[in-house]
Amino acid sequence: MNELNTGPVAESASRQRGRTYTLLILMLVYAFNHIDRQVLIILQEDIQREFSLSDSQLGLLTGILFAAFYSTLGIPAAIWADRGNRKTIITIALAIWSGMTALSGMAMNFIHIALARMGVAVGEAGCTPPATSIIADLYPPKERATAMGIYTLGIGVGVLVGLALGDFVADRYGWRVAFFVAGIPGLVLAVLVWFTVREPERGASEARRTDEIAPSVSETFGFILTQPSFVALLIGCTLICISANAFLAWVPVLMGRTYSFADGELGLALGLLIGGFGCAGAILIGMITDRLSARSLSWRPLIIAVCGGVSIPFVFFALGAETKWAFYLLYIVPSFVGLIYASIAYTAAQELVSVRMRAFAAAFSLLCLTLLGIGLGPWVTGLISDMFLAQMTPAGEGGGFSPVQQADALRRALYIILGLNVLSIPPLLLSARTYVRDVARAAEGLSARAFA
């Protein structure tokens, strides 16, 4: 009798452990996704000196050259994920981007490292669409924002490890070794994913249709366009993403030009600040979002708008901070709320479409967030910085510009980019007006064919 009673309980506990393990592994994969990006960020100054690059060229490396491949290749990866085995896609993708990160350490000029970063982008394109689709099948709506928040911890962990480890290794062994150290462990993780992660049943976490044939790309895209909350939220998150990636790429450079640091200090400090507080915020704000969303799902976009509005004055004053310690203190709030837009954007991509559209919806979100956010943010900021610098009278040795001038030009560029956070608030408020209705519409299992 006891065995019969404990059987379902044991099965449920096992299922809980299984989905927790999968979520943590996916978070770790996403962390490596960002470690391999952030290690380039902290090595920018070393690479710039060795290859004699301008700010706009650095912006190309961290921006459009990466984003063009990352965003566009996410679409075919998502189409595959909506039809095939998502674990297989993640394993292959992880192996590709980790290997290309290691190869970045062998670059001998700008073209070499640009090609290597394109290779990293090709691999990373296969991460988030299948991963968020898996998470949506493991966690029901009432737990989904928290689960996506845990997944986006990978950003914070990646920023922390990428900046701190990259700076530490580069100071002692050179920037090339830092790429090897960042890339090779990902190959080991790919093996772990292949042998230990299970592919979940689609729609298992909720009463959603799973017997439908995956619609075509045009049908899926057509349905997305009929969901105004999805479109408005994506516009708002894209504006935030442009600004966020500009600051992520250029704040280490600005601080290096403005303040003095001991070896390894800058990477560790920014890693703990952006990554550490970012991780805490992703969890706590994700939990708050789930609680508020139990009353109304409109809190999903509203939370992003509130967090974005609160962070703006702190960022503004941090850019003009006289000491690095004042900068650290002011940047705590932006770091704490900085990841929530990504986790809610991923959540929305799973809630506002049918089951067989989820990976594509995530990929379309990434297309906008990365092609415009990662692609334009760092690059445009570098262009604006170069423009301001060209208006100054050279004051450095040999007719060059001094570090103070370079820092001032970059600071002005970042002030301009910060304005995008203000512009993001209206579309987020518009998204909140129809979010509940659009979630219900997607939950009914309506096919895109009905709206073609």
- What mean pLDDT is predicted for residues 49-72? 78
- The answer to whether the CB of 66 falls within 8 A of the CB of 194 is no
pLDDT score, position 213: 61
- What mean pLDDT is predicted for residues 434-448? 76
Q: Is the pLDDT of residue 54 over 90?
A: no
The structural domains of the chain, with segments of one domain joined by +, span 13-198+215-451
CATH class of the domain defined by 13-198+215-451: mainly alpha
Which residue intervals of 259-402 are DSSP H helices? 265-270, 277-293, 299-319, 324-330, 332-337, 340-351, 358-368, 375-390
pLDDT score, position 239: 93
Closest by CA to 26, choosing from 197, 205, 178, 167, is: 197
Place of tokens 């980019």: 417
As a whole number of angstroms, the distance between CA 87 and CA 93 comes to: 10
As a whole number of angstroms, the distance between CA 287 and CA 365 comes to: 23
The torsion region of residue 290 among left (phi > 0), alpha (psi -120 to 50) and beta comes to alpha
pLDDT score, position 12: 65
pLDDT score, position 379: 84
As a whole number of angstroms, the distance between CA 175 and CA 382 comes to: 22
Amino acid at 314: F
Q: Is the pLDDT of residue 208 over 80?
A: no
Q: Which residues of 25-61 are buried (b: 16+ CB within 10 A; e: fewer)?
A: bbbbbbbbbbbbbbbbbbbbbbbbebbebebbbbbbb
